[in-house]
Amino acid sequence: MTLKNVISPTFSWSRRMTNTGSYYEIRWLYINCARTRKPTQSDIMAPSVAQLETSLPQIPVDRVAELKKNGQNAQTDERVIPKGVSYPFYYPYYDVTEKWAPLEIFEHNDPGLRADPTKSHLLTPNASTRDLSPYLGTEIRGVQLSQLSKEGLDELALLTAERKVLVFRDQDFKDIGADKQIEIAQHFGPIHRHPTSGNVKGYPEYHVVYRDNADDLYKEYREIDIKNNLVSWHSDVSYEKQPPGTTWFWILDQPSVGGDTLFLSQVEAYNRLSPEFRKRLEGLRAVHSAVEQAEYSKKVGGPVRREAVETEHPLVRVHPVTGEKALYINEGFTRRIVGYKKEESDNLLKFLFEHLARSADIQVRASYEPGTVVIWDNRVTCHSATRDFSPEFRRHAVRLTPQAEVPIPATSI
């Protein structure tokens, strides 16, 4: 009998802050599908019972029955999808046997460089726009993303670079099918495949966000008893050699209120610093690390599809389309300043992280309604989920994350 025959893990994601930053955390609820006793050594081929006991929390028998009733005993290859999921095709899928080769460097040509500055293919007479703040964020209605021509997609790349965050309403994007969604997103670059997160079965390009009320660890997920603030600013997978650029995110099921996404402009954060301080930052490089994310996934038995990487990036980068300089740091993955002693590095990063977090006047809040698609530029923004919604609601969303160029240092211009 293999481990798969004995237990069936249910996954839930959380973002936890530690003294070294934030990282994705998989929560496994230990469910014995065949029976309610703990498996013996003869039941298990791998890992060991000791490993199971240290990585999988015990769930009471009555809780097991409740979770089974709710359909929460999802397996790697035989999933029972909970009732009420509006888009079961996008229910998160985990395969711990999946292994991928390291990512290879490619030449990125940003489609925004080809765009018509008038944006006539994107912002037609039917379109209406409303800026959400002076520095970033625009809400757009009257544009159907699924119908854009190649010229329209080029102009979308340009507008995203200029406004950093775009909130499109009344979209049919979630209903056009995975192949079409991926085809459109690939216009902006090769789509990143996440090394540890849930994806869509058969479509590893998707990053799936899922949360519902069947998870008895919801209170711990929010960590409301031990933390006063659950905001966790980050830039997606910044540890990659070619981090994401124009990023797509849309909601499938959402709470009636809450569950918004916060964004901030790292361009304006850079501009707020004194000229002399900016000069000192421009020659520095910082290490962005995937190690903690991978180690935690491995610890709890989750997938680690690629070996964890650590990558040096310039502390200040230049956007290839707008030419704007921006800080390129985030508390999620930026770990240290190259060439600095630990105390020096920790203090500089602490100052910069606090500068980002406290600058409410360079931040914006994106709210969701049915048919919302949010597109942002990961190169010049940070974002954070807000975990303020009631646990009775399901929040289900997906992300497609095209990669962009190797970050251009400010010292190169």
> pLDDT, tens digit, for every residue of 217-232?
334 334 555 667 778 8
Query: pTM value?
Result: 0.81
Weakest mean pLDDT among 86-90, 279-283, 365-369, 384-388: 384-388
Give the pLDDT band (50/70/90) at residue 405.
very high
> Residue 78: what pLDDT?
62
> Residue 75: what pLDDT?
43
343 exposure class (CB count in 10 Å sphere: 0-12, 13-18, 19+): exposed
> Residue 73: what pLDDT?
35
Mean pLDDT of 252-256: 94
More confident residue, 154 or 24: 154
Structure token digits, residue 15: 């973002």
Domain-embedded: residue 142: yes
Percentage with pLDDT > 90 across the chain: 71
Domain-embedded: residue 369: yes
| Residues 402, 247 contacting (CB under 8 angstroms) | yes
Give the pLDDT band (50/70/90) at residue 397.
very high
Percentage with pLDDT > 70 across the chain: 78
Domain-embedded: residue 315: yes
Domain-embedded: residue 176: yes
Domain-embedded: residue 333: yes
| Residues 226, 27 contacting (CB under 8 angstroms) | no
Boundaries of domain holding 93 = 89-412
> Residue 183: what pLDDT?
99
Give the pLDDT band (50/70/90) at residue 216.
very low
* DSSP assignments along 233-274, one per residue: -B-TTTTSSS-B-EEEEEEEE--SS---EEEEEHHHHHHTS-
More confident residue, 140 or 29: 140
Domain-embedded: residue 57: no
Of 105, 287, 290, residue with least CA distance to 195: 290
Weakest mean pLDDT among 31-35, 98-102, 122-126, 235-239: 31-35
Q: How many domains does the chain have?
A: 1
Residue 13 has pLDDT above 70, yes or no: no
> Residue 308: what pLDDT?
98
Residue 28 has pLDDT above 60, yes or no: no
E strands, 19-127, where?
A: 21-29
Domain-embedded: residue 291: yes
Task: Write the DSSP symbol of residue 192.
Answer: P
> Residue 226: what pLDDT?
64
Mean pLDDT of all residues belonging to the chain: 83
Domain-embedded: residue 31: no
| Residues 98, 76 contacting (CB under 8 angstroms) | no
CATH number at residue 218: 3.60.130.10
Residue 17 has pLDDT above 70, yes or no: no
